[in-house]
Structure formats: C-alpha cells, structure tokens
Amino acid sequence: MELMEGLLTRRSVRKFDTSKKISKETFKEIIKAAQYAPSAHNTQPWEFLVIEDPQDLKQFRHIQRSALFAENATAVILVCGNTDKSFSREKEGWSYVDIDCSAATENLLLAAHALGLGACWCGASPMTGPIAGLKEYFKLPENIKPFSIVVLGYPAETPKQPEGRFKEETIHWGKW
Ligand SMILES: Cc1cc2nc3c(=O)[nH]c(=O)nc-3n(C[C@H](O)[C@H](O)[C@H](O)COP(=O)(O)O)c2cc1C
C-alpha cells in the first residue's frame, strides 16, 4: 500500500473476524514499524505487551470501559513507555514518554492497516484509573507506564471514510 493512501484510508476498526489469527511474524512486523517512530533524543522508550488470551481480553471492560470491544477482538497490543529510558526532567516535571508512545502507536495503526488488519487506538494514559488498572492486572514493573490499548484483528467491518476531514481553515500561512 502506498504511504499516502494508507494515511488517508486508515480508520478505527472495532469489529473483528476472530476466526483469523494474527501470526507472530505479523505482530513483529507491525511492532517493528512502531519502533521506527521518531522519539525525543532518539530514546525509543517503548515496550509492547501482546495480549491474546481471551480471559485477558475480557478484562478491558473493567479497566477502560470504552475499550470493552477488546473482548471480541483477536488481540490487544499494549503500548507502554519505559520511564527509565525516556527523555525527561523529573525536577521540572516533564517527560516525553507519552509523546514518543503516541508516535509509536500511530505507526502501529498504519502498519496494521497496510497488512490488512483492523485496529483501534483506545486511550490509557493520561487517565489515572486505566493506568493503575493496567499496571495492576498485567503486573507491569514500576518503570513501565501503559500508554495505549491497541485493539486488533482482521476486520469484520469497513468503516465509512469521513468527508471533510481536510480543513483548510486550520492552516495559517506565515501569520495567525
Ligand atoms: C488518544 C485516543 C484515544 C482513543 N480512545 C478510544 C477509546 O477508548 N475507544 C474507542 O472506541 N476509540 C478510541 N479512539 C479512537 C477515536 O475515536 C477515533 O480515532 C476517531 O473517532 C477518529 O476516527 P478514525 O480513527 O476512524 O479516523 C481514541 C483515539 C485516540 C487518538
């Protein structure tokens, strides 16, 4: 798939054909694409938890209500930030960890689309409840912060392409 075409045709998919499994090679390929995302100071502070166990997929309804459709998906990839690796200044109270994981998440979605998978980004960070729930349920180490819940599978729906996404009025040429 050509890059521009992929960027413009990716849509959030929330219904999946669970009879088709995702191969390990495919998981690796989309995670590789995520790892090619830009990151502040090139710290690449991301980690990925691949979740396929149906019992685990059922837990998302308790952890992040609007990710409950994960229970009918093939997999979830939890994109996490490693706070020991990220470019941050504790004293000044800032970190690029979420921003870097955001870039990785978008690459993951685009790679999934390019390989014929459907995916939906469900938010975890910055919501304190889902972060705590994910950390507890998946027993994440202290320095691992869950960032996004990417729900995945081969699509069982074709979402309509939106009209009017391009808004020329949001472009400011040289002055506001
Ligand atoms: C940070 C973030 C959090 C999101 N959280 C959810 C979510 O919890 N549940 C959900 O169904 N979709 C979620 N979405 C997907 C958006 O609803 C979706 O991207 C938006 O409606 C635009 O549709 P599109 O992805 O098809 O272009 C989230 C997207 C982002 C970027």
CA of 78 to the centre of ligand 1 (A): 15
For residue 1, what pLDDT band results from cuts at 50, 70 and 90?
confident
d(CA 122, CA 151): 7
Domain of residue 115 covers 19-158
Total domains in the chain come to 1
For residue 146, what pLDDT band results from cuts at 50, 70 and 90?
very high
Across 59-78, average pLDDT: 98
d(CA 176, CA 86): 33
- Do 59 and 130 contact (CB within 8 A), yes or no? no
Read off φ and ψ for residue 144, nearest 5 degrees.
-110, 115
Which of 7, 68, 120 gets mutated to test ligand 1 (max ligand atoms within 8 A of its CB)? Answer: 120
Across 116-140, average pLDDT: 98
Query: Can you give the CATH number for the domain in which 121 is found?
Result: 3.40.109.10
Is 78 a member of any domain?
Answer: yes
Q: Which of 132, 118, 4 has the alpha carbon at shortest distance from 70?
A: 118
Measured from CB, residues less than 6 Å from any atom of ligand 1 are 11-12, 14, 66-67, 120-123, 159
| Ligand 1 atom index nearest CA of 14 | 11
Across 18-47, average pLDDT: 98
Is 140 a member of any domain?
Answer: yes
Is 153 a member of any domain?
Answer: yes
Query: Three-state DSSP class for 27?
Result: helix
Is 164 a member of any domain?
Answer: no
Structure tokens at 162: 């939106």
